[in-house]
Chains A and B, each alone.
Chain A
């Protein structure tokens, strides 16, 4: 068996982020900090709502990981407070409440992403890194590029090494999401949420079928596969 989770070697060094973990469960928090550090990020920890708010207010972090229920001040209130103060640090909400309504509440309070407990660390890492990147590339792009792959968002055309590839609308959206996160792992749940807008677990691995169809279209006839499966974690489009 292969590694459960592979940290891509091509992960560029400038991607290193400073992450604030606001979580009252000491065990969970120390695993998070350890995992983030091992992945090349710097992680700080706050154990209650007030401490978390004080640290988040400094605006030094690239991403906040905020537990929904905290002593002294709950997670949503922290996010609401800093948003009112004009601090736009992307925030990932962690919660044991997985209801769709709860998710909507979290996003409405100013959260940028929502992850229900229990979660896989690979899922959390992919999302945290995604949030960090989103901050970096806020500018509107009309063209995406990843290695030989080029995507024109206006004419909705895709080429690989100059060869045109015909895609269905949903395949286009799927590839677009993968390319926006080129060089980084994207989990199945992230794809289901961002490409199909479904927030439930479909039990069957529907995503795999769609990804393999897309792979058939973009990798067929080429020696080097662009779309890679990262075992136990998800998928990734190579950045070069």
Chain B
């Protein structure tokens, strides 16, 4: 694997390095404790033994005098060769023990010293690392007792080497592991970064890699993929809308252009006037379409949600019925209302009225079969649980159920309605208004005809 500085800079590596440091520290502490409670214990025990030895010899001296202590020392020297003893007279002359000379370091009344010495044994001369305690006895005799600490020291050294080795191995393994972990992690992060780069470069169908383990990187990948799906859907919608807009604006614009051009060619004042009038009409229609598109966009983006207020939907509906009753009658039908009183919702009065107006207008235009006598359009509203349900019913040809989703799209006009005036934006606006109000727009078969329902949350007092 190539050594890449990026690995060292990665957050995983940093984390594992910190963890490694703490881990090595605790390994060190544990081993130090082991050292203290083994090698240290042996040393402490050896010191204890020496001290007890000195105490025993001092007792001998007190009880039996110089003869007693000399006797004891001699016996001890014979018994064990690991120990060192020396008793010197006040004039410095050695009296007993297996040391030839009083060590020069041993100054003062008492204390601990360490020194090397050779002892004669049956097999020859042996080098000792001795640790000894010396003390002054009454009558200015000096006593020294020590033990060979070679074994203990060697054990301690072994321990120290082991500890250092263990720490080194810990560090080495930890570093390699951290490097490996960060490399794996980095590889996955890099693949996510690569995927987003290629998406940014225009590959909208691209998605984040997901390993399938369900870990946090997978969850992140899933969330990003969902976001990308949503964006792709919106983009597709936008594309469709803009091509629809282009189509629906291009036709009136080219009509207008043709008319103006032909009028200009004619050099006739009456034709000029006619072209201007028709251009004005076309531009009015275009503006109407623009305004409708803007209202939909505003409602859909929800930027006027702040403007929603406690509104009596019953009054709004009565007003709309009053405004549209004559229109329905002109189309040859009648508008009947069944509106329960005091239906309170949180709404924008203008937008709600506009939405219901669009529905009633649609019913008047498309829901009354030509020549039908006594066609009835019903505008009804009632409370249902926590909702206020507004419905507009007609007995016209209706909409095929598989077209319910399509009719709310911008500029969609079903074939049978193409001959009637309209821009295909009415239901889009209703859908946008419902979205803004947290409501629903539903279509049902009225058998015969169409029933359009608006379901709004009932006003509950709090937001």
Question: Which A positions have Cβ atoms within 8 angstroms of B?
Answer: 1, 4, 98-101, 118, 170, 196, 198-204, 206, 209-210, 213, 232
**When A1-B273, A232-B280 are in contact, do A200 and B361 touch as well, CB less than 8 Å?**
no
Q: How far is the CB of A31 from chain B (nearest CB, A)?
A: 15
Which of B287, B295, B323 is in CB contact (< 8 Å) with A206?
B323
C-alpha spacing A202/B360, complex, angstroms: 11
Identify which of residues 358-373 in chain B touch chain A, using a CB-to-CB cut-off of 8 Å. Answer: 358, 361, 364-365
27 contacts between A and B (CB under 8 A): A4-B276, A4-B277, A99-B304, A100-B307, A100-B348, A100-B350, A100-B351, A101-B306, A101-B307, A196-B319, A198-B323, A198-B350, A198-B353, A198-B354, A199-B350, A200-B295, A200-B351, A200-B353, A200-B354, A202-B354, A203-B288, A203-B358, A203-B423, A204-B327, A204-B364, A206-B326, A209-B330
Chain B residue numbers with a CB within 8 Å of A198 are 323, 350, 353-354
Given contacts A101-B307, A201-B291, 11 further A-B contacts (CB under 8 A): A1-B273, A4-B277, A198-B350, A198-B354, A200-B357, A201-B292, A202-B323, A202-B354, A202-B357, A206-B324, A210-B323
C-alpha spacing A172/B93, complex, angstroms: 144
Interface centre among B294, B295, B323, B351 (most CB of A within 10 A): B323
Proximity bits, B223-250, A CB within 8 Å = 1, else 0: 0000000000000000000000000000
Chain B residue numbers with a CB within 8 Å of A118 are 287
Asked if B92 is at the interface of the complex by the 8 Å CB criterion, the answer is: no
C-alpha spacing A98/B423, complex, angstroms: 20
Task: Determine if A203 and B422 form an interchain contact, defined as CB atoms under 8 angstroms apart.
Answer: yes
Asked if B178 is at the interface of the complex by the 8 Å CB criterion, the answer is: no
Chain A residue numbers with a CB within 8 Å of B259 are none
Nearest-CB residue, chain B, relative to A200: B354
Task: Determine if A1 and B274 form an interchain contact, defined as CB atoms under 8 angstroms apart.
Answer: yes
Asked if B82 is at the interface of the complex by the 8 Å CB criterion, the answer is: no
Chain B residue numbers with a CB within 8 Å of A101 are 304, 306-307
Chain B residue numbers with a CB within 8 Å of A206 are 323-324, 326-327, 357
- Total A-B pairs in contact (CB under 8 Å)? 64
Asked if B71 is at the interface of the complex by the 8 Å CB criterion, the answer is: no
Nearest-CB residue, chain B, relative to A202: B357
Q: How far is the CB of B52 from chain A (nearest CB, A)?
A: 98
Which of B291, B304, B323 is in CB contact (< 8 Å) with A100?
B304
Q: How far is the CB of A186 from chain B (nearest CB, A)?
A: 17
Chain B residue numbers with a CB within 8 Å of A99 are 298, 304
C-alpha spacing A98/B277, complex, angstroms: 25
A contact patch SS: loop
Q: How far is the CB of B256 from chain A (nearest CB, A)?
A: 15
Asked if B426 is at the interface of the complex by the 8 Å CB criterion, the answer is: yes
Asked if B384 is at the interface of the complex by the 8 Å CB criterion, the answer is: no
C-alpha spacing A196/B323, complex, angstroms: 8
Chain B residue numbers with a CB within 8 Å of A203 are 288, 292, 358, 361, 422-423, 426
Chain B residue numbers with a CB within 8 Å of A1 are 273-274, 277
Identify which of residues 21-73 in chain B touch chain A, using a CB-to-CB cut-off of 8 Å. Answer: none
Q: How far is the CB of A108 from chain B (nearest CB, A)?
A: 13
C-alpha spacing A98/B324, complex, angstroms: 24
Asked if B322 is at the interface of the complex by the 8 Å CB criterion, the answer is: yes
Chain A residue numbers with a CB within 8 Å of B354 are 198, 200, 202
Which of A98, A100, A213 is in CB contact (< 8 Å) with B326?
A213
Q: How far is the CB of B41 from chain A (nearest CB, A)?
A: 84
Nearest-CB residue, chain B, relative to A116: B291
Nearest-CB residue, chain A, relative to B270: A1
C-alpha spacing A213/B288, complex, angstroms: 25
Task: Determine if A4 and B350 form an interchain contact, defined as CB atoms under 8 angstroms apart.
Answer: no
Q: How far is the CB of A123 from chain B (nearest CB, A)?
A: 11
Chain A residue numbers with a CB within 8 Å of B357 are 200, 202, 206
Nearest-CB residue, chain A, relative to B425: A203
Chain B residue numbers with a CB within 8 Å of A202 are 323, 354, 357, 361
List the 6 shortest-distance A-B pairs measured between CB atoms, nearest first: A209-B326, A200-B354, A1-B277, A100-B350, A204-B361, A101-B307
Proximity bits, B295-337, A CB within 8 Å = 1, else 0: 1001000001011000000000001001110110010000000
Nearest-CB residue, chain A, relative to B323: A206
Which of B276, B326, B364 is in CB contact (< 8 Å) with A210?
B326
Q: How far is the CB of A97 from chain B (nearest CB, A)?
A: 10
Nearest-CB residue, chain A, relative to B364: A204
C-alpha spacing A100/B273, complex, angstroms: 35
Proximity bits, B403-422, A CB within 8 Å = 1, else 0: 00000000000000000001
Chain A residue numbers with a CB within 8 Å of B274 are 1
Identify which of residues 340-392 in chain B touch chain A, using a CB-to-CB cut-off of 8 Å. Answer: 348, 350-351, 353-354, 357-358, 361, 364-365
C-alpha spacing A205/B160, complex, angstroms: 100
Interface centre among A1, A4, A203 (most CB of B within 10 A): A203
Chain B residue numbers with a CB within 8 Å of A213 are 326
Task: Determine if B322 and A170 form an interchain contact, defined as CB atoms under 8 angstroms apart.
Answer: yes
Chain B residue numbers with a CB within 8 Å of A196 are 319, 323
C-alpha spacing A201/B425, complex, angstroms: 12
C-alpha spacing A100/B327, complex, angstroms: 26
C-alpha spacing A198/B355, complex, angstroms: 12
Chain A residue numbers with a CB within 8 Å of B292 are 201, 203
C-alpha spacing A4/B288, complex, angstroms: 19
C-alpha spacing A150/B63, complex, angstroms: 149
